Amino acid sequence: MRLLLCLLLAAAAAEARPAPPLVRVYSLYKLREVTLEPSGGAAYAAGKTFSGRLRARALASSLLLEGSRGRKELRTFTASGGVWLSGKGIPRRLYIGALRFSARRGLLTIVNTPPLEEYIAGVVSMEVSDLTQFEAYKAQAVAARTYTLKHTHNHSGEGYQLCDSAHCQVYAGAAAVRPLARAAAEATRGEILLYHGRPAETYYHSVCGGRTADISSVWPVPAKPYLVSVKDGPSEKPYCSIAPDFRWKTKIYFTGLTRLAREAGWIVSDEDATGLRITAWSPDGRAQRLQLRTQRRVVSISAADFYHGIGRGAGWRAVRSTWFHIIEGKDFVFLDGRGSGHGVGMCQWGAEGMARLGFKYRDILRHYYPGTTIGQD
Ligand SMILES: [Zn+2]
Ligand SMILES: [Zn+2]
């Protein structure tokens, strides 16, 4: 009996090893109130079971929890047991694992702690929803799991580890999990990418455009031997050439550019954009610095700032990457570009292309993160 108990405890310890991440959900929304509903017959909230609906509302720095059995003011509370969240202006989502509610300046903060593999299945579902190949899903699961372990400090000091937007990794709860993503998380359970025995930085992006980017040419950070620029397959038919965003074109009128440049703080309110050109390229062919002209001066902007500034002001479809060249017209600029996203690390559509050609997820990861190996967390 004793031996059995010991074995059971050992099994429980091994099972419990990967720490569930603390993920802030609805991080892009300003939430004042949400409705909670159990996904099964009942769930738990603030130490009690509930079967109907509950409403959580943020006060200045506390919460009001209301249900059919009355209302209670709390500083914070936890719900668990599979809970649907919904509310005005937010998508209805199901969360497995604990949900911790708190309030700050009249707004709700909700932090979910899903089991790690549940979270990975959720992230993979959102990050590669256009892809079809199981081996690409598996590569994405290993990259997302490794990213999760390496980025638990993304929001340190804010009371959680990761947010649920593209800033960290996109995550929309358990009901958004696709069967292929669930199977990919399961098939690669616990596997992470290592470089010299340590977890690697597994950045990934949608479409590289034919060649990935060296991390140090995109962000002001030291080079990494496995985040170098790699040619994404044969020049005549790169692996990601099957992607809808492989090539893109955008026309920006100077009137629009003026508005965006003022919003981004590149120029002041009485200046107008009168021209834009690239002044420096990275060795892998992406734009690195741009020069924005106005009536009285030229402003130098990094291509990464330009990409983020235009994205925030005009949406991420306008300028999809920093791999483009510029054709200047009389009152507009024409951007002829390739790929989508920052270009660092794994190209998701390239992974799809490789998988369609018969490559396995280990080949895919080795291709985008050269010199790395797969190990157990
Ligand atoms: Zn984040
Ligand atoms: Zn690619």
Pairing of strands 98-104, 298-302: unpaired
Q: Give the bridge partners for 95, in sequence order.
A: 83
Ligand 2: centre distance to CA 209 (Å): 5
- pLDDT for 17: 56
Burial class, 182, CB count within 10 angstroms (exposed 0-12 / middle 13-18 / buried 19+): buried
Does residue 9 sit within a domain?
Answer: no
Q: Are residue 189 and residue 269 in the same domain, yes or no?
A: no
- Distance (angstroms) between ligand 1 centre and the Cα of 154 equals 6
- The SS3 assignment for 107 reads strand
Cα of 339 from ligand 1 centre, angstroms: 23
Judge if 194 and 129 occupy the same domain.
yes
Residues 27 and 91 in one domain: yes
Half-sphere exposure of 313 (CA within 13 A, CB side): 19
Give the ligand with the smallest distance to the CA of 22. 1
Contact 212, 368 (CB under 8 A): yes
Residue 228 lies inside a defined structural domain of this protein: no
- Within a domain: residue 14? no
CA of 240 to the centre of ligand 2 (A): 4
The residue segments making up the domain with residue 361 are: 117-207+233-241+345-376
The domain boundary, picked from 90, 114, 138, lies at 114
Cα of 168 vs centre of ligand 1, distance in Å, is: 4
Query: Do 130 and 237 fall into the same domain?
Result: yes
Cβ atoms < 10 Å from Cβ of 298: 12
pTM of the model: 0.88
- Same domain flag for 237 and 252: no
DSSP H stretches of helix in the chain: 2-15, 116-127, 134-150, 179-187, 215-218, 254-264, 303-314, 348-356, 361-368
The token duo for 23 is: 């993920």
- Those residues with Cβ within 8 angstroms of residue 130's Cβ, 6 or more apart along the chain or in another chain: 244, 349
Which of 114, 138, 172 is a domain's end point?
114
User: Of the ligands numbered here, which is closest to the C-alpha atom of 156?
Assistant: 1
- Residue 323, classed as helix, strand or coil, is coil
Taking ligand 2, which is a single-atom ion, which protein residues have CB atoms under 5 Å away?
208, 232, 240, 347, 350
| pLDDT at residue number 14 | 46
Which ligand gives the minimal distance to the CA of 213?
2
User: From the CA of 188, how far away is ligand 2's center (Å)?
Assistant: 23
Cα(235) to centroid(ligand 1), Å: 35
H/E segment holding residue 327: strand 324-328
Q: Which of 174, 192, 85 lies closest to 126 in space, CA to CA?
A: 174
Q: How far is the CA of 269 from the centre of ligand 2 (A)?
A: 39
Residues 102, 199: one domain?
A: no
Q: What is the pLDDT of residue 7?
A: 46
Closest to 91 measured CA to CA, from 44, 132, 35, 147: 35
Tell whether 195 and 251 lie within a shared domain: no
Strands 346-347 and 204-205: parallel
Instruction: Give the ligand at the shortest distance from the Cα of 207.
Output: 2
Do residue 145 and residue 101 come from a single domain? no
Does a structural domain hold residue 15?
A: no
- Same domain? 104 vs 26: yes
In a domain, 212, yes or no: no
Looking at residue 3, what is its pLDDT? Answer: 46
Residue at a domain's end among 79, 114, 149? 114
Q: Residue 136: nearest ligand to its CA?
A: 2
In 47-157 the beta strands, taken as DSSP E runs, fall at: 48-50, 54-58, 63-67, 70-74, 76-80, 83-87, 90-95, 98-104, 107-113
Domain check: are 258 and 133 in the same one? no
**If you measure from the C-alpha of residue 134 to the centroid of ligand 2, how many angstroms do you get, rounded to a whole number?**
18
**Considering the domain boundaries, does residue 262 fall inside one?**
yes
Q: Is 326 in the same domain as 291?
A: yes
What is d(CA 302, CA 22) in angstroms, rounded to the nearest whole number? 33
Measure 290 CA to ligand 1 centroid, in angstroms.
28
Point out the ligand nearest to the CA of residue 167: 1
Report CA(156)–ligand 2 centroid distance (Å).
32
Residue 304 DSSP label? H
Compute, in angstroms, the gap from residue 153 CA to the centroid of ligand 1. 10
CA of 203 to the centre of ligand 2 (A): 13
Q: 178: which residues sit within 8 A by CB, 6+ positions away? A: 124, 125, 129
Residue 25 included in any domain = yes
* Angle subtended by helix axes 179-187 and 116-127, to nearest 10: 130
Specify whether 142 is located in the same domain as 187. Answer: yes
From the list 140, 152, 142, 192, the residue with the least C-alpha distance to 20 is 152
> Ligand 1 centre and the CA of 269: distance in Å?
31
Going from the Cα of 179 to the center of ligand 1, the distance in angstroms, rounded, reads 26
Number of domains in the chain: 3
Closest CA to 21 of 98, 94, 91: 98
Residue 227 lies in a domain: no
Q: Which ligand is nearest to the CA of 323?
A: 2
377 residues of the chain, pLDDT tens digit each: 444 444 444 444 444 456 899 999 999 999 999 999 999 989 999 999 999 999 999 998 899 999 988 999 999 999 999 999 999 999 999 999 999 999 999 999 999 999 999 999 999 999 888 899 999 999 999 999 999 999 999 998 999 999 999 889 999 999 999 999 999 999 999 999 999 999 999 999 999 999 999 999 988 899 999 999 999 999 999 999 999 989 999 999 999 999 999 999 999 999 999 999 999 999 989 999 999 999 999 999 999 999 999 988 888 888 999 999 999 999 999 999 999 999 999 999 999 999 999 999 999 999 999 999 999 87
Task: Compute the distance from residue 254 Cα to the ligand 1 centre, in Å.
Answer: 33
Ligand nearest to the CA of 147: 1
Which candidate, 270, 314, 272, 307, places its Cα nearest to that of 292?
272
d(CA 324, CA 72): 56
Ligand nearest to the CA of 164: 1
Q: Up-side HSE of residue 347: CA atoms within 13 Å toward CB? A: 35
